[in-house]
Amino acid sequence: MGHRVLIIVDWYNTRCLALTENKVYSLKYRLVTISDTTERPTANDGNERWRESEDSMQILLIEDEHVVAEMIRLTLEREGHEVTIADLGEAAIALAQCRQFDIAVLDLDLPDLPGGEVLARLRTEGNKLPTLVLSGAADLEARVDMLQAGADDFLTKPFDSRELIARLNAIQRRAWRRPPSLIEIGGLTVDMDGQCARVDGTEIPLTAKEYGVLELLAQRKGGTVAKEAFLVHLYGQMDVPGIKIIDVFVCKLRRKLAETPGVGVEIDTIWSRGYLLRETEAAAEVA
């Protein structure tokens, strides 16, 4: 009995794709192969058998080719992971600023920014998100450049899904990162489980929005957080007020921190970019 084949015309990329039960082909080249040997889950056995690791990952997939992104997403979700897709470099940077991910899968050929620039900006802002780079370029110089720029691994297209999964699991083993429930900087302790901030055991009286601003700054301590990232962190998909509301929250938070003895941190304004939480020189000298 022959395989059923669905022909997809991808007008965005002006090429024709053939989708069988477990493979995607282009008339020009193969994009992604879903392993022929992997047993598909049934409604009764769940997805646990698909996992190579007991821990699922939050994965940021940065890929603008929608068919490729969807196939990668399906592959990773079958492994028990959660996938968020960004098809633009700027969107990926904003997501990485305001949400906690375990790993990023970054394609180099994006329509708005080169993938290398996305990675460079994340690293410049202090974001150490483990990153697997995808590229159709197989030359040694491209791989070396990206690894030196801060990538954790490099995978050349086309690739087999089993290799993608194996490389992600290897990165996970090397750099598994769960957000700490307690973040300490200067004399300040941010308790993300308790949703509060303390100095020497005494809680600082903060509103929910002020705490949200401080939490995001503490998660990115030493890194600049854009105002847009604060809006996403505080409001999500709800009705979002004007961006100047972030300046109001930061002003009130600064005042409360300044009024707290021994806090040992300050919020700096990084003009045209956002805000940064840093340890004061006095606190650093004590440490």
pLDDT digits over 76-131, tens only?
A: 999 999 999 999 999 999 888 878 888 999 999 899 989 889 999 888 877 888 99
**Each residue of 3-13: pLDDT tens digit?**
443 433 333 33
Collect all residues with Cβ–Cβ distance below 8 Å to 242 and sequence separation of at least 6: none
Could you count the other beta carbons within 10 Å of the beta carbon of residue 100? 12
Q: What pLDDT was estimated at residue 283?
A: 56
Kindly tell me if the per-residue pLDDT of 234 is higher than 70.
yes
**Each residue of 12-49: pLDDT tens digit?**
333 333 333 333 333 333 333 333 333 333 333 333 33
- Span 38-66, average pLDDT: 58
Q: What angle do CA 128, 59, 104 make, to 5 degrees?
A: 40
Q: What pLDDT was estimated at residue 42?
A: 32
Kindly tell me if the per-residue pLDDT of 152 is higher than 70.
yes
Q: What pLDDT was estimated at residue 157?
A: 86
Q: What pLDDT was estimated at residue 37?
A: 33
Q: What pLDDT was estimated at residue 236?
A: 67
Kindly tell me if the per-residue pLDDT of 210 is higher than 90.
yes
Closest to 164 in 3D by CA, of 115, 105, 114, 108: 105
Q: What pLDDT was estimated at residue 277?
A: 94
- Could you give the domains of the chain? 48-175 (3.40.50.2300), 182-286 (1.10.10.10)
Q: What pLDDT was estimated at residue 51?
A: 37
Confidence (pTM): 0.54
Q: What pLDDT was estimated at residue 4?
A: 41
35: its two tokens: 């392993």
Cα separation, 221 vs 121, whole angstroms? 16
Let me know: does 18 contact 139? Beta carbons within 8 Å.
no
